[in-house]
Amino acid sequence: MKLKTTTFASVLVWWMLPLSVHAQAGKTPWGDPDLQGTWPAGAVYSVPFERDPEQGTRTRLTDAEVAKRKADIDSQLAFPPQANYWPEIGHGPPLTSLIVEPENGRLPPMTENGALRAQEWRVKAADGYSPRGLPPYLAAGPADLRPYDRCITRGVLGSAFPNQYGSGMQIHQAPGFVVIRYEMVHEARIIPLDARPRLSSAIQSYMGDSRGRWEGDTLVVETTNFNGRTGSYARNGDGNPTSTALRLVERFRRQDADTLLYEVLVEDPQTWVRPWKVAFPLRRDERYVLYEYACHEGNYALRNTLSAARAAERQQK
């Protein structure tokens, strides 16, 4: 199905801070548009993933809505430092939603198969997955927990979408390659730009197989060959599932020296009845540090869940 084109200019131009209209993004020494830098997404976390139905097709907040969102964020940031050492939230763009297509800013309906898989994910999240009759919230084993819960991956979408902490993204470039490094779960995507053939469709992975190309000053990255084990909704890749039919088309473009525009078109005909698109701006921050994300070393949630499950099994005997 052909999608209605949503331009960054119509959605994002009003967020840009006053900058010279003559500001132009530079080039790498080998002549590619230079996208390199650190682009954290913490401030964009304030934008809802889906739009409030009462806002209809409106993409921008009113002045009153902006003031309320800022006040809500300020109240969160007012906690004592010891209770607020992780969050990286801030005053982000006045978008009504991260989703820009469909026009209502909400996810399209799921297919019957997608809805069944999504229900299974919700059961795991809300009630625990208990094939052995365990109490809610207790997983029978590691395989019953999602990849993010196990510190394996958030997938491409979970890594790209804003989060309240660990939201750093760095872009590095070399002749013929772009590398995108994410802070949380320490993913690094190496994207070739040399039109090499794709991997066999039999080779699938959490992050898929990416190929990039330049369309003017825009980096276009198409990714396929997913294993269908990561999510697509909201934060951390822990939301609604995807399938092996997932295809992503991402676009990265420098609006000016300190603003990177990001969008991703999500096509998954086994999960959604039509494609959908997310778009948002990122602000450069070279002061931001991508710290080691030692997830396994500190993943007490997994250890405690499994130890509690063993204790529950002993009580059932």
**Sequence spans of domains, the chain:** 43-104, 107-125+148-291
User: What was the pLDDT predicted at 264?
Assistant: 98
Residue 14: pLDDT above 70?
no
Query: Per-residue pLDDT tens for 280-299?
Result: 999 999 999 998 888 888 88
Please tell me the distance from the alpha carbon of residue 94 to that of residue 248, in angstroms, as a whole number: 25
Query: Could you give phi then psi for residue 250, rounded to 5 degrees?
Result: -100, 150
Sorting pLDDT into bands at 50, 70 and 90, what band is 124? low
More confident residue, 89 or 171: 171
State what percent of residues in the chain have pLDDT above 90. 62
Average pLDDT, the chain: 86
User: In the sheet where 247-256 sits, what is the strand order?
Assistant: 99-101, 276-283, 259-267, 247-256, 218-224, 209-215
Please tell me the distance from the alpha carbon of residue 313 to that of residue 317, in angstroms, as a whole number: 7
Output the pTM of the full model.
0.86
User: What was the pLDDT predicted at 126?
Assistant: 46
Sorting pLDDT into bands at 50, 70 and 90, what band is 303? confident
Give the β-pairing of 218-224 and 37-38: unpaired
Sorting pLDDT into bands at 50, 70 and 90, what band is 123? low
Residue 15: pLDDT above 90?
no
Residue with tokens 């990122």: 282
Residue 131: pLDDT above 50?
no
More confident residue, 86 or 128: 86
Closest CA relative to residue 218, chosen from 182, 168, 169, 264: 264
Fold classification of 107-125+148-291 is Lipocalin (2.40.128)
Residue 21: pLDDT above 90?
no
Query: Per-residue pLDDT tens for 245-267?
Result: 999 999 999 999 999 999 999 99
Are 276 and 108 spatial neighbours (Cβ–Cβ below 8 Å)?
yes
Longest dimension (CA), the chain: 74
Q: Average pLDDT, stretch 104-113?
A: 97
